[in-house]
């Protein structure tokens, strides 16, 4: 068999991980001795991945550790063998040829901007950042535990293809994940958030680190002894991070063209349809500065570009690899991502966001007699084929009489994607971005992904709280 | 296998030459062949992707005095091994956790973890498995959105400076599909086995079809406190991020387990008196079994809950040594499960220091286990096949608020009608005490660890 297309991704990256954990006995004052543990590790992520396509669309992928000629030769041989077997398999004949569409030729060397390269800062310097956070968080007397995980990844990725692409990217990515726990008597509460993106250690500048520490410590303390959230259908206002989580799960995954092509997305066949309320505009932008999902070219060498998925409630586009774009007769839009050299690229989000509207939080609260305010994000999950998603915020408050009420423990929000997109009746004006991650694929590929959103208000949201919402309480919001 | 052992020995020797007082190397080579079929217009399946994903690398822990470092590499060349030793030394920090090493001892033996058929499988044969599974579902009268099959041959070598040399080979093969019936019922169903024959015997396609058809014409759930029957898939989803990690002595030591000081301790009642739970890595052929854990300690059976009372925690070598125990329970794992994720992470298990997880939680009862739900005394309630959203449960607290995937309203203990997505809310450590009975045939399901359990009949769960 002669291959009609081949590409290779070289990766030579270094990861540094630093964990710092400190506990203070319950009831001890701010100056009390803390029990502290930390650990650090360094990782070489070096290797190459080769893709080969045959004339009938058969695809082979193989990878090897290391960057030597022997590793390359073995990966090419294995990928060719895989493509050949795929071509011979009766099932592949149905796939047809021209699998990747028109040639894509990208060349150049790109270095993502950074002021302080993490590769040039030693472990003690990184530990100092964590200690700054820790000191600020323990300034709150209620703080009982601070858990911090720092990671940076620096190095070179190079892509070359038989189309003529040859791209080298020199990048750095930094994340700080923080959890602060508060304790008082029998009550324990915690709050968690991440900071970071594509760039240097300036992303973890002291003011930002201290601000996050104070914010999480304050939230953990305030939610001590929080009661149970009600359950049932009610009006929900989601803060920036909760909305990000909701948009990522409910819209982002449903717009991934591989699932759309397989008929495994409720948004399949709905291009041009009004799938959401007017005012709902969702984009995915791999070029968004500073975000953790930023990249100049995707893992097929396609220049990354901003894609408007939903505009004023109308479905405009899906996220594509070259293969899905060719299959749907669309141009590729730079959303092929692989976890690392050892995995093939698949359709992924980069940094998805809901565009801002006009509402302030106060305007959203106005007229909501009873409801719930969801804050932060712990994680979510979606089944695009069924059109069902759920996510869990970090914490929540009741809404009573148009005002934010007492803190309650965080309940999950679950819903039907097509229903809930129509139930967004207010979009806030306060767009913000946060780092996060995403898992998808067989086997699962877990990657950093950014997201951004303003506040939103949802009518008839299903909230999985332990307390039951009475019929009288449910959906009592008057005209906004 | 000798190639991996040699790499591990070379890394340990290089560390020794670099002045390390002790070192341990873990090497993994586990290429995963994965195929994805999708339906074609001709009533057949088209091969969408066929890939071999790489899981190969070495992790090295070494101690210089009181400083312990950890580093890993995906590059197993000799220069890269020298580099990883240097990285390990640079990462070594004072007062880091100690590095107790597993003594050499006798190599453990456990049969049935590798299947010759899986070892010899090539890509077309894996495609054939996926086609068989898809055809089963179609013959049962449902549509298929996609079929996945994967086969993995996992080779592991562990060498340490105390003279331990371990190597093992095992296999896993899995298949899963997304089925859709004419009445709108969906099912996403997958199963994993050590052997090809074991997987085919599970009739994954037929089971998925039956599940999809039984979910046709779903109705809204009736909210309120209900008796809920959790099938093994739902149980594993919930236990994987609660009881499973909470049983680890490392979490108890950190205070991130409900079994930490001030909470329950061995001997205390932590579950319904009808529950016995044993962690068992020695069941022949089980997906959760292993010859030795991620530090080289032989896999073993450890009773953890007896008649509802906590009788033991799970240990790796580090936790056992720090508590002065004679030996670990063989539960060291190298996995991202339960760790605070930054999403910027090593590409394989070799990049993680040993944590603690169960191998295979086997659930039985000191009393009767019932063949079906009416025999267990179930009348009205909700039967739940699986849930989504459980991965965000905090093991230290256990609060959950999850959404059902396939679920049915029960009347007189039998499924009366399928329900649309319902939410279940509560606390896992309370749920453990609300188990009324075990019923239906036990199943062996796989996640971060394995669970072998009948369905649990749970009293008074909040259904929204």
CATH at residue B41: 3.30.2290.10
pLDDT band at A469 (very low <50, low <70, confident <90, very high): very low
Instruction: Give the largest CA-CA distance in chain A.
Output: 73
Considering the domain architecture, whether residues B270 and B168 belong to the same structural domain is answered as no
A150 torsion bin: left (phi>0), alpha (psi -120 to 50), beta (else): beta
Q: How far is B375 from chain A (nearest CA, A)?
A: 30
Residue bearing tokens 């004679």: B326
Mean pLDDT of B406-427: 96
Measured CA to CA, the distance from residue A107 to residue A42 in angstroms comes to 31
pLDDT at B178 over 80: yes
Measured CA to CA, the distance from residue A427 to residue A420 in angstroms comes to 14
Strands B423-427, B450-463: pairing is antiparallel
Helix or strand run (H / E) with residue A150: strand A143-161
**Closest Cβ–Cβ partner in B53, B80, B224 for A66:** B80
Q: Quick one: what percent of chain A has pLDDT higher than 90?
A: 80
A350 touching B (Cβ < 8 Å): no
Provide the ipTM.
0.91
- Looking at every residue in chain B, the average pLDDT score rounds to 92
Considering the domain architecture, whether residues B96 and B230 belong to the same structural domain is answered as no
Query: CA A129 → CA A146, A306, B334, distances in Å?
Result: 13, 33, 27
Measured CA to CA, the distance from residue A199 to residue A429 in angstroms comes to 26
Considering the domain architecture, whether residues B13 and B126 belong to the same structural domain is answered as yes
- pTM score of the predicted model: 0.93
Q: Report yes or no: B375 and B221 within 8 Å, Cβ to Cβ.
A: no
Contact residues, A window 300-329, toward B, CB-based 8 Å cutoff: none
pLDDT at B264 over 70: no
Mean pLDDT of B418-441: 96
- Other Cβ atoms less than 10 A from the Cβ of A468: the count is 17
pLDDT band at B338 (very low <50, low <70, confident <90, very high): low
- Looking at every residue in chain A, the average pLDDT score rounds to 91
Helix or strand run (H / E) with residue B32: strand B32-39
Number of H helices, E strands in chain B: 11, 24
Q: Taking CA atoms, what residue in A is nearest to B221? A: A232
The pLDDT score that the predictor gives to residue A477 is: 32
Considering the domain architecture, whether residues B355 and B422 belong to the same structural domain is answered as yes
pLDDT at A13 over 90: yes
Q: Taking CA atoms, what residue in B is nearest to A94? A: B46
A64 touching B (Cβ < 8 Å): yes
Contact residues, A window 179-218, toward B, CB-based 8 Å cutoff: 179, 188, 190, 194, 196
Q: Report yes or no: A51 and A195 within 8 Å, Cβ to Cβ.
A: no
The pLDDT score that the predictor gives to residue B143 is: 92
Q: Which two tokens stand for residue A100?
A: 């990747």
Q: Taking CA atoms, what residue in B is nearest to A439? A: B343
The pLDDT score that the predictor gives to residue B421 is: 86
Closest CA to A119 of A171, A158, A169: A171
Instruction: Give the largest CA-CA distance in chain B.
Output: 71
Q: How far is B181 from chain A (nearest CA, A)?
A: 12
Query: pLDDT of B71-125, one tens digit each?
Result: 999 999 999 999 999 999 999 987 655 788 898 877 777 667 999 999 999 888 9
Domains: count for chain B: 2
A70: Cβ–Cβ under 8 A, 6 or more apart, which residues?
none
Chain B environment of A152 (Cβ under 8 Å):
344
Considering the domain architecture, whether residues B101 and B173 belong to the same structural domain is answered as yes
B325 touching A (Cβ < 8 Å): no
Helix or strand run (H / E) with residue B14: helix B2-17
The pLDDT score that the predictor gives to residue B124 is: 86
Query: Could you give phi then psi for residue A257, rounded to 5 degrees?
Result: -70, -20
pLDDT band at A476 (very low <50, low <70, confident <90, very high): very low
Contact residues, B window 103-162, toward A, CB-based 8 Å cutoff: 122-124, 127, 131, 145-146, 148, 150
A88-92, A121-125, A418-422, B269-273 — which is least confidently predicted? A88-92
B265 touching A (Cβ < 8 Å): no
Question: With an 8 Å Cβ cutoff, are B402 and A390 in contact?
Answer: yes
B219 lies in a domain? no
List helix spans (H) across B298-445.
317-322, 428-431
B54 lies in a domain? yes
> Cis peptide leading into A143, omega within 30 of 0?
no
Closest CA to B33 of B97, B108, B156, B129: B129
pLDDT band at A94 (very low <50, low <70, confident <90, very high): very low
Closest CA to A44 of A71, A16, A63, A69: A16
B171 lies in a domain? yes
> Final residue of a domain: which of B165, B189, B213?
B213
Question: With an 8 Å Cβ cutoff, are A49 and B54 in contact?
Answer: yes
Rg (CA), chain A: 24
> Final residue of a domain: which of B149, B178, B213?
B213
Beta strands in A321-431 (DSSP E): 336-337, 346-347, 351-354, 370-375, 379-383, 388-392, 395-400, 403-408, 413-416, 424-427
The pLDDT score that the predictor gives to residue A26 is: 65
Closest CA to A270 of A413, A422, A414: A422
Q: Report yes or no: B177 and B27 within 8 Å, Cβ to Cβ.
A: no
Interface mutation target, options B78, B132, B335, B344, chain A, most CBs of A under 10 Å? B344
Query: CA A139 → CA A32, A132, A414, A415, distances in Å?
Result: 11, 11, 37, 40
Query: pLDDT of A149-194, one tens digit each?
Result: 999 999 999 999 999 999 999 999 999 999 999 999 888 899 999 9
A211-220, A469-478, B368-377 — which is least confidently predicted? A469-478
A90: Cβ–Cβ under 8 A, 6 or more apart, which residues?
B44
A451: Cβ–Cβ under 8 A, 6 or more apart, which residues?
A244, A245, A247, A248, A252, A293, A349, A351, A352, A353, A433, A434, A436
pLDDT band at A474 (very low <50, low <70, confident <90, very high): very low
Q: Quick one: what percent of chain B has pLDDT higher than 70?
A: 96
Measured CA to CA, the distance from residue B283 to residue B279 in angstroms comes to 10
Considering the domain architecture, whether residues B324 and B343 belong to the same structural domain is answered as yes
A367 touching B (Cβ < 8 Å): no
The pLDDT score that the predictor gives to residue B322 is: 86
Beta strands in A199-320 (DSSP E): 230-238, 282-284, 307-311, 314-315
Q: Taking CA atoms, what residue in B is nearest to A173? A: B344
Interface mutation target, options B342, B384, B402, chain A, most CBs of A under 10 Å? B342
Considering the domain architecture, whether residues B175 and B57 belong to the same structural domain is answered as yes
The pLDDT score that the predictor gives to residue A9 is: 98
Contact residues, B window 443-462, toward A, CB-based 8 Å cutoff: 462
Contact residues, B window 279-308, toward A, CB-based 8 Å cutoff: none
Closest CA to A196 of A218, A219, A214, A212: A212
B106 lies in a domain? yes
Query: pLDDT of A360-417, one tens digit each?
Result: 999 999 989 999 999 999 999 999 888 999 999 999 999 999 999 999 999 999 999 9
Domain with CATH 3.30.2290.10 in chain A: 25-36+111-222
**Closest Cβ–Cβ partner in B50, B345, B462 for A60:** B50
pLDDT at B329 over 80: yes
DSSP label of A265: S
Is CATH 3.30.2290.10 the right assignment for the domain spanning A25-36+111-222? Answer: yes
Closest CA to B54 of A449, A66, A359: A66
A435 touching B (Cβ < 8 Å): yes
B237 touching A (Cβ < 8 Å): no
Contact residues, B window 15-74, toward A, CB-based 8 Å cutoff: 32, 34, 36-42, 44-57, 69-74
DSSP, collapsed to helix, strand or coil, labels residue B417 as strand
pLDDT at A222 over 50: yes
Mean pLDDT of A445-459: 96
Q: Which residues form the domain of B385?
A: 224-463
B423 touching A (Cβ < 8 Å): yes
Query: pLDDT of B148-159, one tens digit each?
Result: 999 999 999 999
């Amino acid at each position: 068999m002669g291959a009609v297309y081949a590409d290779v991704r070289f990766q030579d990256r270094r990861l540094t991980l630093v964990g710092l954990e400190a506990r203070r006995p319950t009831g001890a004052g701010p100056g009390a001795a803390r029990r502290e543990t930390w650990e650090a590790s360094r990782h070489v992520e070096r290797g190459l991945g080769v893709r080969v396509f045959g004339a009938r669309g058969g695809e082979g992928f193989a990878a090897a550790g290391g960057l030597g000629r022997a590793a390359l030769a073995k990966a090419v041989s294995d990928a060719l063998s895989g493509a050949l077997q795929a071509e011979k398999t009766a099932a592949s004949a149905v796939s047809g040829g021209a699998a990747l569409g028109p040639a894509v030729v990208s060349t150049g060397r790109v270095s993502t901007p950074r002021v302080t390269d993490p590769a040039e800062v030693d472990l003690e310097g990184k530990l100092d950042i964590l200690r700054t956070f820790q000191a600020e968080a323990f300034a709150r007397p209620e703080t009982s535990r601070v858990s911090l995980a720092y990671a940076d990844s620096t190095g070179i990725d190079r892509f070359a293809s038989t189309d003529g692409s040859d791209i080298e990217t020199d990048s750095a990515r930094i994340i700080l994940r923080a959890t602060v726990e508060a304790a008082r008597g029998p009550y324990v509460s915690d709050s968690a958030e991440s900071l970071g993106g594509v760039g240097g250690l300036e992303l973890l500048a002291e003011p930002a680190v201290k601000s996050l520490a104070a914010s999480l410590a304050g939230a953990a303390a305030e939610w001590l002894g929080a009661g149970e959230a009600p359950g049932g259908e009610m009006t929900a206002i989601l803060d920036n991070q909760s909305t990000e989580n909701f948009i990522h799960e409910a819209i982002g995954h449903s717009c991934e063209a591989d699932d759309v092509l397989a008929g495994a997305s409720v948004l399949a066949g709905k291009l041009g349809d009004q799938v959401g309320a007017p005012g709902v505009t969702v984009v995915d932008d791999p070029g968004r500065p500073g975000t953790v999902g930023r990249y100049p070219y995707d893992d097929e060498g396609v220049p990354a570009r901003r894609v408007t998925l939903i505009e004023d409630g109308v479905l405009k586009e899906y996220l594509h690899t070259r293969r899905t774009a060719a299959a749907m007769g669309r141009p590729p839009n730079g959303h092929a991502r692989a976890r690392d050299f050892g995995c093939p690229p698949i359709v992924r989000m980069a940094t998805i966001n809901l565009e801002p509207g006009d509402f302030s939080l106060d305007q959203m609260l106005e007229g909501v007699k009873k409801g719930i305010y969801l804050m932060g994000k712990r994680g979510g999950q979606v089944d695009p084929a069924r059109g069902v998603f759920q996510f869990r915020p970090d914490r929540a408050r009741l809404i009573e009489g148009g005002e934010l009420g007492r803190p309650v423990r965080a309940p999950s929000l679950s819903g039907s994607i097509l229903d809930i997109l129509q139930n967004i009746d207010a979009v806030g004006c306060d767009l913000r971005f946060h780092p996060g991650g995403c898992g998808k694929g067989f086997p699962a590929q877990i990657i950093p992904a950014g997201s951004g959103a303003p506040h939103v208000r949802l009518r008839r949201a299903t909230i999985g709280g332990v307390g039951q919402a009475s019929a009288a309480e449910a959906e009592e919001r008057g005209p906004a | 296998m000798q190639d991996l052992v040699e790499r591990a020995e070379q890394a340990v020797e290089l560390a020794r030459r670099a002045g390390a007082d002790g070192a341990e190397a873990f090497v993994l080579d586990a290429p995963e062949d994965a195929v994805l079929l999708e339906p074609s217009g001709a009533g057949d399946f088209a091969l969408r992707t066929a890939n071999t994903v790489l899981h190969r690398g070495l992790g090295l822990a070494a101690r210089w005095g009181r400083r312990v470092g950890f580093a890993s590499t995906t590059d197993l060349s000799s220069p890269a091994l020298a580099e990883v030793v240097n990285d390990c030394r640079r990462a070594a920090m004072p007062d880091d956790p100690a590095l107790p090493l597993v003594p050499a001892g006798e190599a453990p033996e456990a049969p049935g973890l590798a299947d010759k058929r899986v070892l010899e499988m090539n890509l077309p044969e894996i495609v054939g498995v996926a086609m068989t599974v898809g055809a089963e579902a179609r013959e049962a009268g449902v549509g298929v959105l996609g079929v996945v099959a994967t086969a993995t041959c996992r080779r592991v070598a562990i060498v340490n400076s105390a003279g331990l040399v371990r190597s093992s080979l095992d296999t896993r093969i899995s298949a899963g599909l997304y089925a859709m019936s004419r009445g709108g019922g969906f099912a996403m169903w997958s199963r994993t086995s050590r052997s090809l024959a074991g997987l085919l015997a599970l009739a994954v396609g037929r089971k998925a079809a039956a599940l999809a058809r039984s979910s046709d014409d779903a109705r809204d759930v009736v909210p309120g406190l209900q008796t809920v029957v959790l099938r093994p898939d739902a149980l594993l989803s919930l236990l994987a991020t609660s009881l499973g990690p909470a049983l680890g002595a490392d979490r108890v030591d950190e205070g991130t387990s409900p079994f930490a000081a001030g909470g329950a301790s061995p001997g205390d009642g932590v579950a319904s008196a009808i529950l016995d739970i044993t962690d068992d890595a020695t069941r022949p052929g089980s997906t959760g079994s292993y010859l030795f854990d991620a530090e080289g300690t032989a896999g073993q059976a450890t009773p953890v809950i007896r008649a509802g009372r906590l009788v033991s925690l799970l240990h790796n070598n580090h936790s056992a040594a720090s508590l002065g125990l004679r030996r670990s329970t063989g539960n060291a794992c190298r996995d991202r499960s339960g760790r605070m994720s930054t999403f910027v992470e090593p590409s394989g298990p070799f990049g993680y220091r040993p944590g603690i997880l169960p191998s295979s939680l086997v659930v039985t009862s000191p009393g009767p286990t019932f063949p079906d739900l009416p025999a267990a005394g179930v009348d009205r309630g909700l039967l739940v096949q699986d849930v989504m959203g459980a991965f965000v449960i905090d093991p230290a607290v256990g609060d959950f608020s999850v959404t059902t995937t396939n679920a049915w309203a029960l009347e007189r203990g039998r499924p009366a009608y399928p329900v649309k997505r319902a939410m279940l809310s509560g606390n896992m450590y309370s749920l453990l005490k609300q188990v009324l009975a075990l019923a239906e045939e036990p199943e062996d399901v796989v996640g971060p660890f394995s669970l072998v359990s009948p369905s649990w009949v749970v009293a008074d769960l909040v259904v929204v």
